[in-house]
Structure 1
Amino acid sequence: MKLDMEKYKKIRQAQANGARTIDELKEMTDIVIENDEERKEVEKVLQNACKCKNVSVEEVAQAVKNGADTVEKVMEATGAGSGCGRCKAGVIPSIIENKK
């Protein structure tokens, strides 16, 4: 199952605003998760910081803990942000700022 683009965009925007869990996502958006299959897809998106390079939020958070305090340093350490670049404007800075 693939998420529809509208839901995907809302999830990524919520991630950029600090959402890391489904509960946080629900607090920040009007997303309704229809079933268990969709829940799994939402969880996959929430765990992923950079879709193009398949870099997890955890990998980026670990790079930040190891001193990567700018988007450029995170890119160097993980490869995240070196594809289409969308995550450089939202998700990666959020992880750096929130350190999670």
Structure 2
Amino acid sequence: MRPRKVCVCNQISEEEILTSIRNGNDTLQKLMDDTGASTGCGTCSNAILKILAKELKVSKE
């Protein structure tokens, strides 16, 4: 199965976002700086924030 692209403009996958979060990038700005996601049109920012919230919640439990 092909990885789901969260950021179509920059071809950033959900797995790339998750890896970045697991490497300590715990804000949208840090994820943008690290991956380039949401630096094009910005449409994916809400999807990225949902992934971030879910991953941080899982990590803290």
* TM superposition score normalised by structure 1: 0.52
Q: Does 1:74 align with 2:24?
A: no
Identity over aligned pairs, percent? 36
The structure that is helix-richer by fraction is 1
Aligned residues: 56
Question: Partners of 2:50 and 2:21 in 1: how far apart?
Answer: 11
- What does 1:1-100 align with in structure 2 at a 5 Å threshold? 47-88=4-45, 90-99=46-55
CA RMSD of aligned residues (A): 1.8
Question: Partners of 2:53 and 2:36 in 1: how far apart?
Answer: 19
Structure 1 alignment gaps of length 5 or more: 1-42
Runs of 4+ aligned structure 1 residues displaced above 4 Å come to none
Question: Partners of 1:64 and 1:81 in 2: how far apart?
Answer: 15
